[in-house]
Amino acid sequence: MPYCIADILADPPRAFSIAALANITTVINQTCPWDLLRPTTLKPSVAFNLTTGNNFILSDLLGPWTTYPARIIMSRLIDFKLPLLVLIFQLPRPPLRFWVECFALLHLVSSPVDSIASYFFALSECFGVLKKIKYEARRMREVKTDCKKLSLVVIAYATIGKPVGDIAEQIHLQASNPAAFRKAAHSLAADRRINFIPVGAALLGFVVAVLFKYVYIDHKDYDDMNPQHVQIWSLSSSMTVMWAITAVFQASIVGMQKTRDSTRRILCQLEEDLNHRENLVVKLKDQVDHGAVPNYRPDRWSSNSDLKVRSPWTLDLMALAIVATGSLGGVWLAARVPPEGWNCRTGVKVVMFLHYLLGGVVQLVINWLPVSTWPKVYATAILDLLVLSSFTGVIFTTQVGVLNRVGCYVQEISKGVWGVVLPPFTWETVRERLHLEYPAILFGFMGLQIFICLGIWRGFREARQVYRQDDTESVE
């Protein structure tokens, strides 16, 4: 039986194993404690020589690492990533073409900063239309105007590529046949109303899934085969995608028509009721140009309208702050799990956020390009595919075990002195933090996203009433 480092190095473990290293550390402490930095802390050089790991992708760059067992990989994917996917797939998508639906979903997961900013622009634009109509209505006091209903009709014309130029003319048309506008507005609102319930259920399901999994982690003793440290790190990775709560919530307010031609049919009926014979020929390019894909609005940077919407810089900075909030929480949570501080696990969270940040910057450049619609769409789709491929690669390799190596358990234990901190010897610290600090970080940042949603619900109250045609509150 080996007792000292020299003896163990003659027959080292074949692969990196937390349990094997912990057992070796215990034996060495009993026989050759001078080979340890502390009774439970190996020297990094010794730990690297004791385990060779397996030669997989990135091993030349990062060092040998060992895959997690398949059951652990699947468990973390199902417990921590599947609820997020369910939430994201509840995104109301424009039923224009199949590829347009795919593009909207791809753009959301690959460029959340641009998507959230675009949703803010859609809500701000709706509020701007309402304000302009109310302003014109005050100037024309002799004409009775239902501002909410007219606002929704004006927005609907824009989404089919037929933006309304003269608001005063629309006010007169509504006054001439208020029943036609009322019917059109109610039909347009009903066409959107069904989106909020499934999205709300998905939001609740995501929160409950995270809560139940956390309770499960908190009430277990140390699991040698699947350390709670690793599960908390996996939760911290999920926190970098918490922006999905806000994005999907925004999408549920804006809503989406049920079928490809439903908006055009409703507006054609309105034209007929008004005795107009305008040919509402709908072109996909015009629809994309005017907000038919609400999470892709490059026109916010080139809009010359007098709607007085918020500055696109303000919208993008708000979106960036929402995305950064979850990543900040993920870095904080990962840094508080031993080995503490800056290490490869906190670094991965920063890399995940950099995908969002750099992708957002490149998307900003694309939005500024003085080219027509389709070149921008194609460039955006290529960028989104590149970002998604890279981001998925990071998620996949970390879930499989690229961080399951000696280098990811090294911590500075005193000034200039580094040691290998193993989960079995830090379980008491983790168990204590599981009761207060970790849930405060996890659910605090999740609660912040929900608080942001409540702020959007309240701050864009009038825009929400236009989209939903909610008659319980007056916006006249």
Q: What does the pLDDT read at residue 53?
A: 62
> How far, in Å, are 125, 126, 410 from residue 225 at the CA level?
53, 54, 20
84 contacts: CB under 8 Å, gap ≥ 6: 206, 238, 241, 244
CA distance 446 to 436: 15
State the Cα–Cα distance between residues 57 and 67, nearest whole angstrom: 11
How far apart are the two ends of the chain, measured CA to CA in Å?
A: 85
Specify the pTM.
Answer: 0.89
What SS3 class is residue 114?
Answer: helix
Name the pLDDT band for 119 (thresholds 50, 70, 90): very high
- In what order do the strands lie in the sheet containing 36-38? 36-38, 41-42, 417-421, 410-414
> Which helix (H) or strand (E) segment is 461 a member of?
helix 461-468
Which span out of 2-16, 199-213, 256-270, 284-298 was modeled with the highest average pLDDT? 284-298
List Cβ neighbours of 94 (8 Å cut-off, separation of 6 or more). 100, 101, 104, 256, 257, 292, 293, 294
Alpha-helix runs per DSSP H in 279-343? 284-289, 312-335
| Model pLDDT, residue 193 | 56
Residue 195 has pLDDT above 70, yes or no: no
Average pLDDT over all residues of the chain: 83
Q: Please check whether residue 176 is in contact with residue 142, taking contact to mean a CB–CB distance below 8 angstroms.
A: no
**With 80 as the cut, is the pLDDT of residue 370 above it?**
yes
- At 351 the three-state DSSP class reads helix
How far, CA to CA in Å, does 57 sit from each of 31, 50, 401?
37, 21, 11
pLDDT value for 59: 64
Per-residue pLDDT tens digits for 458-472? 999 988 888 877 544
The band of 279, judged by pLDDT with boundaries at 50, 70 and 90, is low
pLDDT digits (tens, 9 = 90+) for 67-113: 888 888 887 777 777 777 777 887 888 888 889 989 999 999 999 99
